[in-house]
Amino acid sequence: MMGLRSIYFSLVKQPLKWLVRIKTLPEQPVTTLDINTDQPVYYVLRTRATSSFLMLQQQCKNLGLPEPRYISKSDQTIPNGGVFFIQHKQIFGRRPSTIKKYNRQLQNLLQQHDDNMDAPQLIPVSIYWGRNPGKEKSLLRVLFTDTESATPIRKLLILLFQGRNSFMHFGQPVKLSLLSTASSAESKALKIIRTLRVYFHRQWTAAMGPLVANRKQMLTSLLANDGVIEAIKREQKKKKITANKARKQAQKYANEIASSYSYKTIRVVSRLLSWLWNKMYGGLQVYNAERVRNLASDHEIVYLPCHRSHIDYLLLSYVLYYEGLVPPHIAAGINLNFWPIGGVLRRGGAFFIRRSFSGNKLYTAVFNAYFHALLDKGVPVEFFPEGGRSRTGRLLQPKTGMMGMMIQNYLKGCRKPIMIVPVYVGYERMMEGKSYISEMQGAKKKKESMGQLLKVRNQLKQRYGKVYVNFAEPIDLESWLTEHCPQKTTHNHDSSERPSWLSDVALKLGEENMTRINQSVVVNCVNLVSLILLSTPRHTLGKQELENQLALYLSLLKSVSYSDDMQLSDDNVANLIEEAKLLGAINEFENPMGNLCQIPERSAVLFTYYRNNIIHLFALPALIASCFRHSSSLKSVELVAKCKALYPLLKRELFLQYSDDQLSEVIDQYVEEFCNKNILNKSGDEIFRPDINSDEFSQLILLADTLKETLERYGITLTLLATHAGQKAISRGQLETQSQKLAQRISALYNIYAPESFDKSLFQQIVGTLRRNGLIANGEGGDLIISGSVPDIQHLVMSMLGQSTREGLLKTARWAMVKWRQD
């Protein structure tokens, strides 16, 4: 019998080698799942199949796991590596004796380890032949889609057409000790089988997703939605048109919005993207994907990534696809709906959204109905809370439109609880970098088109370093709303009207999402050296000084960890510098007194983008360092008071994570690390800066200069407010415009002429932050009411700037005020 089985296995192995390419998740299950190979290991497969068993054998051999073994009837004890099956396919039906056999084998295992239930490690293994969930009504689904009931003939067809796109997922070992409450081995075995059946079903749903809805049926169902029907009636009455014409308009909107998801497109594009990433990038690093896999089986997942590049649309779907998860349906700007890319994106799961709904209630109703249909059906969804790509490298303030719709639709009711997954996406170099700078310098944004797409060919010849994707700590929407939104209990969830409180709640949720994205930042060589060298007057530093500063920053990141999700691409100083040189981020040239490192002058403006990706990590230590720019010593209480006065202003702009209650403790931790590095010294309650002629003082001031431009912007706006206080009224719009113009002139006269320094959106954000912190308020007639504490805050900010910077700012401000009065 064993000889016949060996011959049969040998015959089947060869075709499998030709037909199957399988990816293992996680890539290193022994370390990721903490599997102890010194203890007994057993495997559980969903369905008995020779192909599944042979592929498990092959993968376990490659992964260093015990060899899988069939459990024979004659085995008195279950061998290490024994494979259990919880169901059996038969061409003419399932035999009850087969189910009983698996039950008896599990009972034997339990009795074998009765004295130590923690010893056996029962590992569930899911194998998916292809990634096609199938359509809801399709004959091809019957033939080519992997299901639990696939017969041998169907399995052959699946392997022929889907075998090269398969994967194997090793689950967390089942703890048999948790089943000790059962009264007998038979009861325990039945409990294991039930538990594993639920597990395999949820894993299949997470990997494959729900059946793909027929697009025509989806459009028909949208027009039958109660909210859309009401909106059609309102449109008919408002515009005095026929019901048929209003319905056709709604149908046009639905056709414009809805995706046309195609598994074939997903598969083809995934292969194209594999080639593209290898052509352009030096690697794709993914962190914390396992936490998403653990949620995907029984939650509706909404991915909310930061938005750096058009590549983001493709990147996250690609990562999820190769991590064994369902690519999401993506809310894409209508500007991307051009030939031929629009059709490809639509079939890849994109649904298109207009930049503004402009009071168009019919469009709003159709889009809202479509969005709710996706959430209710359990389809993973992705949208960008910033609304557009960041041109500065900082996270933008979140928009409340889609966020509010998500909350409103959840309150109406969804089949699964919604879990929001913030996602950090980072690049060592970006394709759009130069175009971003041009746009911020006043160039008009070029419309996406086929011509723009063809120009990408030239960029394929360049190398852009590595790409990083990090899945941040998810947000349970129900729990978050319970804590932050008591109004939801009194709201009529069936109403189509947007409640007055929704925008504020959506903004808070958006800020929480952005804060978690910043917590999961990946620090790489380009943004670290950019942060340091752009803080120097000529973007140049001796190589030894650069190494010392890098060592200091790495020490700060490790000793006072910003968050557990933050990642370092490399913690070796020499490697970071060499990698930055290879990517063209810095040039090294010889000098008789020691080699120098410099950011090329033509690239300095561009590299402010990469610096801004991580500036939030060093905002608080830089603020501490700034307090000692003109003070030789401070008492601990004075230092904390200064930082607490300015921290709220920085917190909202940079989405910093620390609460006011945490701030004192974190400041103490940074001071302790500074003292360990001799950057500061402490005696009792007094903190001293080092001698101004020392290398340590230079390091302290270089760190302080990280915040120089940020503090300058606040200094500009606060100086204007302090000047206007008690004298001439000023509106919010005037304050934002004057701040921007003043910053533009100061930047041209004294700093690197970086458009990011006088981006109007940053000043709009600053004014909003000042209002939320009570320093200004809206008065009658649109004029601002200026708090009496503004001069004190302005004086504090100015005390943290260099003497020349402060004098230049005040001089330019005085000149500007005289000019504006004359005008």
Domain ranges across the chain = 2-208, 216-519, 522-706, 709-822
Residue 41 CB coordination number (10 Å): 22
| Mean pLDDT, range 573-594, rounded to an integer | 92
pLDDT band, residue 129 (cuts 50/70/90): confident
Mean pLDDT of the chain: 85
State pTM to two decimals: 0.87
Instruction: Note the pLDDT of residue 143.
Output: 41
Tokens found for residue 381: 């969804």
Q: Residue 163: pLDDT above 80?
A: no
Pick the more confident residue, 29 or 496.
29
pLDDT band, residue 144 (cuts 50/70/90): very low
Q: What is the pLDDT of residues 440-449, one digit of tens each?
A: 665 666 666 5
Assigned superfamily of 216-519: Glycerol-3-phosphate (1)-acyltransferase (3.40.1130.10)
Q: Residue 60: pLDDT above 70?
A: yes
Say whether 375 sits in a helix, a strand or coil: helix
Left, alpha or beta for 349 (phi > 0: left; psi -120 to 50: alpha)? left
What residues pair up with 381 in beta bridges, in sequence order? 302, 329
Return the sign of the alpha-carbon dihedral for residues 439, 442, 445, 446.
negative
Stretch (H or E) spanning 798: helix 790-799
Please state, in angstroms and rounded to a whole number, the distance separating the CA atoms of residues 484 and 494: 21
534 near 604, Cβ under 8 Å?
yes
Q: What is the pLDDT of residues 745-779, one digit of tens each?
A: 887 777 655 667 777 778 888 888 888 888 888 88
Left, alpha or beta for 560 (phi > 0: left; psi -120 to 50: alpha)? beta
pLDDT band, residue 365 (cuts 50/70/90): very high
Q: Residue 151: pLDDT above 80?
A: no
How distant, in Å, are the alpha carbons of 74, 192, 243, 369 from that of 239?
Answer: 81, 63, 11, 22
Instruction: Note the pLDDT of residue 762.
Output: 82
Pick the more confident residue, 178 or 36.
36
Q: Residue 426: pLDDT above 70?
A: yes
Residue 155 CB coordination number (10 Å): 18
CATH architecture of 709-822: Orthogonal Bundle (1.10)
DSSP letter for 469, please. Answer: E
Residue 426 CB coordination number (10 Å): 26
Peptide bond into 340 cis (omega under 30): yes
406 near 353, Cβ under 8 Å?
no
Most confident stretch, 45-49, 205-209, 433-437: 45-49
Instruction: Note the pLDDT of residue 139.
Output: 40
* Residue tagged 């981020």 (tokens): 585
Q: Residue 152: pLDDT above 70?
A: no
What are phi and psi for residue 689, nearest 5 degrees? -85, 160
Q: Residue 382: pLDDT above 70?
A: yes
Instruction: Note the pLDDT of residue 88.
Output: 66
Q: Residue 141: pLDDT above 50?
A: no
Identity of the amino acid at 405: M
What are phi and psi for residue 557, nearest 5 degrees? -65, -35
